[in-house]
Structure 1
Amino acid sequence: MKPLLFALLALTLFISCSKGKEKEPTIQKEISVDFVAKNNKEITDYIAKNNLKTIKSDSGLYYVITDPGTGKQPTATSNVTVAYKGYFTNGTVFDQSGPEGISFGLDQVIKGWTEGIPYLKTGGSAILLVPAQLGYGNNSMGPIPGGSVLIFDVKLISVN
């Protein structure tokens, strides 16, 4: 009788643990949805406070073309050299390049850059206001907490 009772208890614990794991993805989705609404409000408040005239793409990227440039225009898979400064809506800088910029493939960076930098031609510059779903999502990355809105001043130096 005791082995049967032990087997039923073990089965009950196994089933209850399995059921708890099935709910985790739903919780993550709810957190992501919360960031979308929070990020959108944070970005629109920043735009109003700084009197920016932005364009919003279908993906949720907000951007301001400060100088469209006149040279070659990259695609989402181009290798480019970009000078940039990255900061939060409170003005705290989390990263920046030197004036010579850095080179990388646009298919190897956050989605906000993959989408936003091809709006420019060589010599052009823009402000990219990147919500978390186009940045690092719910994940923290170095000094950037998960769910953060990222703002970048970018200048496209060259399409390599």
Structure 2
Amino acid sequence: MSKREYIIANRKWLEDKAKEEGVKALPKGIYYKVLKEGKPNGAQPQRRSIVTVHYTGWTIDGRKFDSSRGSTPIAMRLSDLIDGWIIALQQMHVGDEWELYIPAEMGYGKFSQPGIPGGSTLIFDIELIGVA
């Protein structure tokens, strides 16, 4: 598959996923499905917050490229992360677990990362554990 075909396949996958039952839209072409709801009045991160999460990331072909599960949750400053995470996590409450679908433009764009070809739609299972 050529780079162009790969990018088109990733966009089509996201368009199809957006039509599935239970999938909700966020700004900038990001979609999510709620896997577990935390407290509706639980803390929500701001852009400069330190977030503690468990996560697993896949490409659309089911290849896992990263995960914190099986070890200690990761604590990171939200503003240091990819745009898709910054936008989505600010909508989450502590205790929420979402499956997040991030278009390439809100992830790594045309740049490849280890295990992630450029142009990839990213899928993450993210559980927001804490906000500081």
Identity %: 36
* Preserved CA contact (<8 Å) 1:110 1:134: yes
Correspondence for 1:67 = 36
The alpha carbon displacement at 1:145 in A equals 0.7
Residues of 2 paired with 1:57 and 1:40: CA distance?
Answer: 16
Q: Deviations over 1:110-134 (max 9, x none)?
A: 0000011122111111011011000
The RMSD of aligned alpha carbons is 2.1
Correspondence for 1:94 = 65
Aligned length: 125
Correspondence for 2:47 = 76
The alpha carbon displacement at 1:43 in A equals 1.1
**Greater RCO, CA 8 A, separation 6+:** 2
The alpha carbon displacement at 1:38 in A equals 4.8
Matched, 1:56 2:28: no
Correspondence for 1:111 = 83
Q: Deviations over 1:127-147 (max 9, x none)?
A: 110110000000011111110
> What amino acid maps onto 1:78 in structure 2?
S
Residues of 1 paired with 2:33 and 2:131: CA distance?
Answer: 20
> What amino acid maps onto 1:42 in structure 2?
W
Correspondence for 1:141 = 113
> What amino acid maps onto 1:59 in structure 2?
K
> What amino acid maps onto 2:26 in structure 1?
S
TM-score normalised by structure 1 residue count: 0.70
Residues of 1 paired with 2:69 and 2:24: CA distance?
Answer: 27
> What amino acid maps onto 2:108 in structure 1?
Y
Residues of 1 paired with 2:21 and 2:102: CA distance?
Answer: 15
The alpha carbon displacement at 1:77 in A equals 2.1
Which has the greater radius of gyration? Answer: 1
Residues of 1 paired with 2:49 and 2:10: CA distance?
Answer: 28
Q: Deviating runs (4+, > 2 A) in structure 1?
A: 37-40, 44-48, 65-68
Q: Deviations over 1:66-102 (max 9, x none)?
A: 2331121111221110000000112111110035310
The alpha carbon displacement at 1:39 in A equals 3.5
Residues of 2 paired with 1:138 and 1:79: CA distance?
Answer: 27
